[in-house]
Structure 1
Amino acid sequence: MKLLIVGATGTLGRQIARFALDQGHQVRCLVRSQRKASFLKEWGAELVGGDICKPETIPPALENIEVVIDAATARATDSLSIKQVDWEGKVNLIKAVKEAGINRYIFFSLLNAEKYPNVPLMEIKRCTEQYLAESGLNYTILRPCGFMQGLINQYAVPVLDNQSVWISGESTPIAYMDTQDIAKLTLRVLEVPETEKRTLPVVGTKAWKPEEIIALCEKLSEREAKISRVPLGLLRFMRQITRLFQWTYNISDRLAFAEVLATGQPLDAPMEEVYQLLGLDPKQTTTLESYLQDYYTRIMKKLKELDYEKKQKEAKKKKRSPFKSKNVG
């Protein structure tokens, strides 16, 4: 198939691009910066410059495309707001796809988006779901709730480096999923007509509390974590402060997720129907235990290699140079 991937430089988008190329699909990526997306070109993808917030730049990327996979979202460091990217930009993209006569559209939303109208990104995702459902396109909405990749910097690295691990005062279990598994599932969706005009959860094998993830990191790294709790009230206060400045709007909107964490309600959903629909084996889904085990195995091996090299260099320095003068007497 000829695929257009929007958001291909992101954590999830790049995995979708890589697996699509591996499966022999023709992949085109709409990118704002071709320099930052050069790795996609090296993999074999075609790059087309454009921005969903600039509707006039979208049509060239849609020429001869059969399926659009939309994995784009605003980042905390973006100059554009979540509303501009995740709502106005998505409306531009959906309109352009319909005008181009492309029938298939895959959209990544968020699990339980409809339950949090006061959380900007969640509410915008809900509105986009509704807009897409009314567009007439053969859509599939996929709803993840968290990526395992984000846990490395949040938990695994701080525990290993003896740094503080920051968690909120609440403990909401989240069913994180490996983005590689999400990518495989996404491409399988394209092969199953029954997924058209459906909304499907995309979550991991178990919902994990922060304390459980930390305990797992401690076990695998054989180190004790320094846990620092951030009061929910402080997160809410920081959100109010960051709303005062335009350049911190995106940070403020992400701090709104404190309201999601405050509920203590698990971000999880049954996946049996999804696996059955797609004909996939749930046993092949990466568990958080195996994901972190693989990370720590690789990083500990590297640390041992670096320590060995350091000792070798120190040993060489201790050897007397043959050109050094000897004492006589």
Structure 2
Amino acid sequence: MSLLVIGSTGTLGRQIVKKALNDGFQVKCLVRNFRKAAFLKEWGAELIYGDLTLTETIPVALHDITAIIDSSTTRINDLYNINEIDLKAKYILIEAAIKAKIKRYIFFSILNSYDYTNIPLVKLKLLIQKRLKKSKINYTIFNLSGFFQGIIPQYAVPILDDKSIWITNKLYSISYINTQDIAKVTIKSLSVTQFQKKILPLLGNESWNSFEIVELCEKISGKNAKITKIGINLLKLIRYITKFFQWTWNISERLSFIEILSKQSNYNISIKEILYILKIEPIEIESLEIYLSEYFEKIMTKLKEVKYEINNNNINQIDF
């Protein structure tokens, strides 16, 4: 089976490419910048020039492709162009896939997305999802919650840098999952007919709220966190104000994601049935504790090495 991965240089996309190559798939990556994607070629993937904003490049990229895995998303600094660019491009991609007789199409959306239809990016994903459901393509849509990788800049890095961690006054839990595990499930699902024309949740085995994550980071790193609380209503007010000025539109749209924090959602969805079908044991899905422990261990080891090198250099510079 030959795969075309879209969004292959992203946090999730690169893990999908790596897993697919390791499992023996022929992988092609649609990329805009060959230099930025050079590491994918080194792994063994074939790079194909394409840009979703240049729709004429899409059909050519589907030559000899069996399945499409779309892990791309709107660039955070371009949220106001999603209707003009991303939605149109994704529709054309789906139509091209139909004409090319693509056998599988995998798309990633957001868990409980129907609760957040006021968020432009979520609305975009729902429209794409609706188009896939109307098509005759054997699609699989995985609804995601949050990535382990997103926790690092939000919680771990501020603790290491002695900077404040900004936390809202709402304590709702999210079932974070490692992108490597998402990739594992995604690639295995390609050969499972039960997942065709299905929308499935894909999340971790345990839910965490902000304070629980902070406590975990403190325990593993041995450092105390500086916490700054901010109210949901204040964030909503800032979003309301920024909507009035074109130069602050992108700020407003980023703040729209606070709606996810201001609603209690059902994240207690089990993926045991999915794992059972894929013959993956729940224990194979990495826990947040293990992920953060490995991260802090690597960072602490690196810091010790740097400190050792600095001390040695200082000693060598002393004039005896």
Structure 1 residues not aligned, in runs of 5+: 321-329
For residues 68-107 of structure 1, what are the alpha-carbon distances to aligned partners after superposition, in whole Å with 9 as ceiling and x for unaligned?
0011101212476233454222111111111112121001
Tell me which residue corresponds to 2:125: 125
Residue 274 of structure 2 is aligned to residue 274 of structure 1 = yes
Aligned match of 1:326: none
The answer to whether the 8 Å contact 2:28/2:45 transfers is yes
Quote the Cα distance in structure 1 between the aligned partners of 2:44 and 2:246.
38
CA distance in 2, matches of 1:269, 1:100: 35
Inter-CA distance 310–319: structure 2 relative to 1 (3 Å threshold)? same
2:236 is aligned with what amino acid?
R
For the pair 1:81 / 2:81, whether they are aligned, the reply is yes
Moved more, 48-57 or 222-231: 48-57
CA distance in 2, matches of 1:114, 1:98: 26
Q: Which moved more, 1:195-204 or 1:252-261?
A: 252-261
Contact 1:74 1:80 in 2 (8 A): no
Question: Paired residue for 1:205?
Answer: 205
Q: Which amino acid aligns with 1:27?
A: V
Amino acid across the alignment from 1:126 = L
Match of 1:148 in 2: 148
- The answer for the alignment partner of 1:194 in structure 2 is 194
**Alignment deviations for residues 220-267 of structure 1 (CA, whole Å, 9 cap, x no partner):** 111110001122123223323443455654443232111110113353
CA distance in 1, matches of 2:22, 2:250: 34
Deviation of 1:131 after TM superposition, in Å, equals 1.1
- Is the partner of 2:146 in helix, strand or coil? coil
The verdict on how the C-alpha distance between 1:237 and 1:88 changes in structure 2, with shifts beyond 3 A counting, is farther
Distance in 2, matches of 1:268 and 1:252, equals 30
Structure 1 residue aligned with 2:32: 32
For 1:310, the aligned partner's letter is I
Shift of 1:319: 4.1
Aligned 8 A contact 2:74 2:121 in 1: no
CA distance in 2 between counterparts of 1:91 and 1:2 reads 22
CA distance in 1, matches of 2:181, 2:112: 20
Gaps of 5+ in 2: none
- Residues in 2 aligned to 1:2 and 1:252: alpha-carbon distance in whole angstroms: 40
Paired residue type of 2:301:
K
Q: How does 1:1-329 map to 2 (within 5 A)?
A: 1-78=1-78, 81-246=81-246, 248-320=248-320
1:8 aligned counterpart, secondary structure: coil
Name segments (4+ residues, structure 1) moved above 6 Å: none
**Are the structure 2 counterparts of residues 46 and 242 from structure 1 closer, same or farther at C-alpha, using a change threshold of 3 Å?**
farther
- The answer as to whether partners of 1:171 and 1:264 remain within 8 angstroms in 2 is no
Q: How many residues align?
A: 320
Could you tell me whether the CA contact under 8 Å between 2:53 and 2:86 is conserved in 1? Answer: no
Kindly indicate whether the alpha-carbon contact (under 8 Å) linking 1:62 and 1:100 is maintained by their aligned counterparts in 2. yes
Alignment match, 1:325: none
- Tell me if structure 1 keeps the 8 A contact 2:58–2:96: yes
Kindly indicate whether the alpha-carbon contact (under 8 Å) linking 1:81 and 1:249 is maintained by their aligned counterparts in 2: no
**Amino acid in the other structure paired with 1:286:** E
Amino acid corresponding to residue 254 of structure 2 in structure 1: R
Cα drift, residue 273 of structure 1: 1.2
CA contact (8 A) 2:173 2:210 kept: yes
Task: Give the Cα separation in 1 of the matches to 2:286 and 2:227.
Answer: 26
CA distance in 1, matches of 2:150, 2:101: 36
1:283 partner letter: I
CA pair 251-48 structure 1, distance change in 2 beyond 3 A: farther
Give CA deviations for 1:6-39 in whole Å, capped at 9, x if unaligned: 1111110011011111112111111122222222
In structure 1, how many angstroms separate the alpha carbons of the residues matched to 2:250 and 2:102?
31
Q: How big is the shift at 1:43?
A: 1.5
State the distance in 2 between where 1:23 and 1:247 align: 46
Distance 1:172 1:312 in 2: 48
Q: Report the Cα offset of residue 297 of structure 1.
A: 0.6
RMSD value, Cα: 1.7
Amino acid at match of 1:185: V
Instruction: Flag the structure with larger Rg.
Output: 1
Contact 1:104 1:137 in 2 (8 A): yes
